[in-house]
Structures are given as C-alpha cells and as structure tokens.
C-alpha cells in the first residue's frame, strides 16, 4: 500500500518547468493557475518511491530511489549551488542510505529499526501516527503536536555529528517529515536525504531547520492561529540563540533563492508571507526564552542517550561527545553576525 502524504515537494520536479522559474523570478510569486500547474509537476516527479510492507511481522516503510533519482538530485544540487543555498541532496546511493539509516536510528532507535535494503532502498519501521503536514491539511493540527515537534527538534539538535563537524541538524525539517506518534504523544523526525553544508555555523543550520518547518505553516493556517501555533512551537524548542538566529532569517530572499523559498512556502502569496513573518519577528522579541548567553545552559544540558546513537559514518559516537564541549566553547557569541543560509 502506498503512503499517501498529500505534500510531495520535490525540488527536482520544478526544473522541468522553465515557466515556473521565469515567472517566479519575474513576479516574485506565481499566478494561481501556474502555481497549481507547478504543484502538479512537482508532485508527479519524485526522487523516491515510498511503499509499505510487513517484514518479519513488523509494519515497514520501504523508501526506494527511482532510476532517475540520482540525476534529479544532482540537478537540484546544481541549482542549490547557483542559488547559494547551503543544502545538498545526497545523490550518491550508498551515502544516502548510510545517512538515512544512521539518522533514523540515532533519533528513533529507542523503539524502531532501520536498515539498508537491496542496492537502492532503505527499510524503516513504520512509526504509527501521521505527519504534521497531513494533520494541518485535515484541520487536526494542535498546539500540543507543535510543542511535541519543537521538543523533538531541540532534542535532535543536541546530538553531535562528525559529518557536520558540530551538533546535528536535519536539513529538511518540513512538516511532512515530522510524525506525531500515536500513543506516546511525542513527535519523531524522518527523511534524511538532504543535508546542510557542514561549513555553516551550527546555529545557522539549526535555525534553518526551524525556518523550514515554519514556512510550511505560513500559508496554510488561519491568521488567528499563526502566532499561537508558531510561538508554541518555538517556546517548546526553547533555545534562545537558535531562535535569535531564526529571527534574522525570517526575511523573503531575492534572486535565485526565491524559487526554493516559494517551494518551502508552498507558493503562498508573498504579501501574506511578508505580513506573517513580520508579526512573528515581533512576537519572537517578546518570547520569554532563556537568556541569550546560553552557553552555560547548554553545558548543563543532559546529553542524549548513547543507545540512540549509531556507529555509522557521519553520525554521533560516544567518543565524539568530548568534541561537543569543544563546539560549545567555539559557539558563535550572541549578536555576532553569522552567515545566512540563503541570499536573503
């Protein structure tokens, strides 16, 4: 049975429509008809095929690269480079499978299993529940779920990653990639095939994760819910340094990066987006978070359990924990401008 998440954003699909690029660059926002057509194109071209299967009695999700997946990923990466966007699709099959399985086990290995399967696929335990995008589209998204997402992203951000030379970040923390687990009431992260450029400061990468999540909501919830929902999410996330960096990133970019921004906002109208981002920037200023000088707070934080960590290349190891404290010492002091992830 195919999983049926309504949102299937795949940047590679966009490149099959020159009109989309032209129109986006010319107008800053897509006309409605074209936006619908673009969405259809995007939905029809996917890097992966997702299916469900029961394997040795366990419900599993099989994620398989389609035959053109690597080419599409490379094409998208070319655009990311041209637009100076600091993310990359893992186009190499082995590297993708290692990272996807490693991150899944690092974050969800307390209850769920994952493994590489055949030469072009991974097999992941199915997490019971629905992703937050589907909840939002069906009108069942609650503050409780958003708080769970904020807490889980924060927990994930404490892991060390050798590959990223610092604390971990997701790279594609959009709402379809956050599953609200039935029963436990906690959120879990999935889908690890886009990775941040490791040269970025950790705070910039982690703020980008928050941004990507929030941009899914920006055109999809009512004005009445925008601030209560987004601030609940941010409060639960809680790290003042990362949220201060996010505040700087809440600006609509120009040039080539605008195309990806429009994908991220699901082609929401730019006037709505601008208005909502302004209100969120103000609200962040009034959030009662930990003081900005949070180095001490970070040092006191409990490190994630060793049992959640895998030994595969690029994911945290017990040994590398000592490096986490060095990273804390090197953390960008609040107020010092850091490199932005996009040309905003």
Ligand X SMILES: Nc1ncnc2c1ncn2[C@@H]1O[C@H](COP(=O)(O)OP(=O)(O)O)[C@@H](O)[C@H]1O
Residues near ligand X (CB under 6 A):
3, 5, 46, 48, 50, 61, 63, 124, 126-127, 131, 176-177, 179, 190-191, 193
Nearer of residues 212 and 277 to ligand X, judged by Cβ: 212
Smallest gap from Cβ 66 to ligand X, in A, equals 10
| Residue 179 interacting entry, from ligand X, Mg ion, none, C-beta within 5 to 8 Å by type | ligand X
Nearer of residues 10 and 270 to Mg ion, judged by Cβ: 10
Rounded to an integer, what distance in angstroms lies between the CA atom of residue 96 and that of residue 116? 10
Q: Give me the residue whose beta carbon is nearest to ligand X.
A: 191
HSE toward the beta carbon, residue 93, CA cutoff 13 A: 17
Site string for Mg ion, 163-192 (x = CB under 5 A): -------------xx-------------x-
Smallest gap from Cβ 10 to ligand X, in A, equals 7
| Residue 200 interacting entry, from ligand X, Mg ion, none, C-beta within 5 to 8 Å by type | none
Angle at which helix 202-218 crosses helix 223-237, to 10 degrees, equals 160
Q: At 296, phi and psi to the nearest 5?
A: -65, -40
Burial class (CB in 10 A: 0-12, 13-18, 19+), 69: buried
Q: How many residues bind Mg ion, per CB under 5 A?
A: 3
The yes or no reply on residue 131 touching Mg ion (CB under 5 A) is no
Nearer of residues 61 and 93 to ligand X, judged by Cβ: 61
Residue 175's SS3 state is helix
Smallest gap from Cβ 60 to ligand X, in A, equals 8
Nearer of residues 129 and 176 to Mg ion, judged by Cβ: 176
The yes or no reply on residue 304 touching Mg ion (CB under 5 A) is no
Nearer of residues 70 and 289 to ligand X, judged by Cβ: 70
Comparing CA positions, the residue from 260, 213, 324, 331 lying closest to residue 82 is 260
Smallest gap from Cβ 3 to Mg ion, in A, equals 10
Nearer of residues 12 and 202 to ligand X, judged by Cβ: 12
Give the DSSP per-residue string, 231-299: HHHHHHH--HHHHHHHHHH-S---TTHHHHHHHHTTT--HHHHHHHHHHHHHHHHT---S-S--HHHHH
| Residue 127 interacting entry, from ligand X, Mg ion, none, C-beta within 5 to 8 Å by type | ligand X
| Residue 98 interacting entry, from ligand X, Mg ion, none, C-beta within 5 to 8 Å by type | none
Nearer of residues 46 and 195 to ligand X, judged by Cβ: 46
Site string for Mg ion, 190-229 (x = CB under 5 A): -x--------------------------------------
Termini Cα distance of the chain: 41
Rounded to an integer, what distance in angstroms lies between the CA atom of residue 109 and that of residue 203? 25
Nearer of residues 177 and 270 to Mg ion, judged by Cβ: 177
How many C-beta atoms lie closer than 10 Å to residue 144's C-beta?
A: 12
Alpha helices in the chain (DSSP H): 11-14, 18-27, 32-44, 69-82, 93-108, 132-137, 143-156, 202-218, 223-237, 240-249, 257-264, 270-285, 295-300, 321-330
Question: Are 106 and 318 contacting, i.e. CB atoms less than 8 angstroms apart?
Answer: no
| Residue 3 interacting entry, from ligand X, Mg ion, none, C-beta within 5 to 8 Å by type | ligand X
Rounded to an integer, what distance in angstroms lies between the CA atom of residue 218 and that of residue 261? 12
The yes or no reply on residue 39 touching Mg ion (CB under 5 A) is no
Smallest gap from Cβ 85 to Mg ion, in A, equals 17
Smallest gap from Cβ 43 to Mg ion, in A, equals 13
Comparing CA positions, the residue from 270, 284, 258 lying closest to residue 342 is 258
Nearer of residues 113 and 301 to ligand X, judged by Cβ: 113
Binding site for Mg ion (CB under 5 A): 176-177, 191
């Amino acid at each position: 049975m195919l999983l049926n998440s309504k949102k299937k954003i795949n940047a590679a699909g966009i490149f099959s429509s020159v009109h989309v690029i032209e129109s986006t660059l010319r107008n800053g926002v897509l006309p409605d008809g074209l936006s619908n057509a673009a969405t259809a194109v995007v939905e029809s071209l996917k890097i992966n095929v997702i299916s469900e299967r029961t394997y040795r009695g366990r419900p599993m999700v099989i994620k398989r690269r389609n035959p053109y997946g690597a080419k599409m990923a490379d094409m998208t990466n070319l655009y990311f480079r041209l637009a100076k966007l600091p993310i990359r699709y893992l186009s190499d099959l082995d590297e993708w499978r290692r990272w996807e399985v490693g991150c899944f086990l690092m974050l969800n290995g307390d209850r769920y299993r994952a493994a590489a399967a055949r030469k072009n696929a991974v097999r992941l335990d199915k997490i019971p529940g629905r992703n937050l995008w589907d909840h939002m589209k069906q009108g069942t998204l609650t503050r409780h779920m958003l708080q769970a997402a904020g807490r889980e992203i924060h927990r994930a951000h404490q892991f060390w990653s050798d590959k990223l030379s610092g604390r971990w970040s997701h790279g594609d923390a959009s709402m379809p990639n956050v599953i609200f687990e039935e029963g436990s009431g906690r959120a879990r992260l999935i889908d690890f095939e886009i990775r941040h450029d490791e040269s970025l400061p950790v705070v910039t990468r982690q703020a980008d994760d928050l941004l990507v999540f929030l941009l899914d909501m920006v055109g999809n919830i009512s004005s009445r819910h925008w601030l209560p929902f987004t601030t609940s999410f941010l409060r639960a996330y809680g790290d003042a340094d990362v949220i201060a960096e996010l505040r700087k990133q809440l600006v609509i970019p120009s040039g080539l990066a605008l195309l990806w921004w429009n994908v991220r906002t699901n082609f929401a109208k730019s006037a709505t987006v601008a208005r909502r981002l302004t209100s969120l920037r103000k609200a962040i200023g009034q959030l009662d978070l930990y003081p900005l000088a949070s180095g001490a707070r970070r040092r006191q934080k409990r490190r994630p359990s060793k049992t959640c960590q895998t030994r595969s290349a690029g994911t945290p190891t017990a040994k590398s924990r000592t490096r986490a404290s060095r990273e804390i010492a090197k953390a960008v002091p609040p107020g010092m401008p850091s490199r932005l992830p996009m040309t905003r």
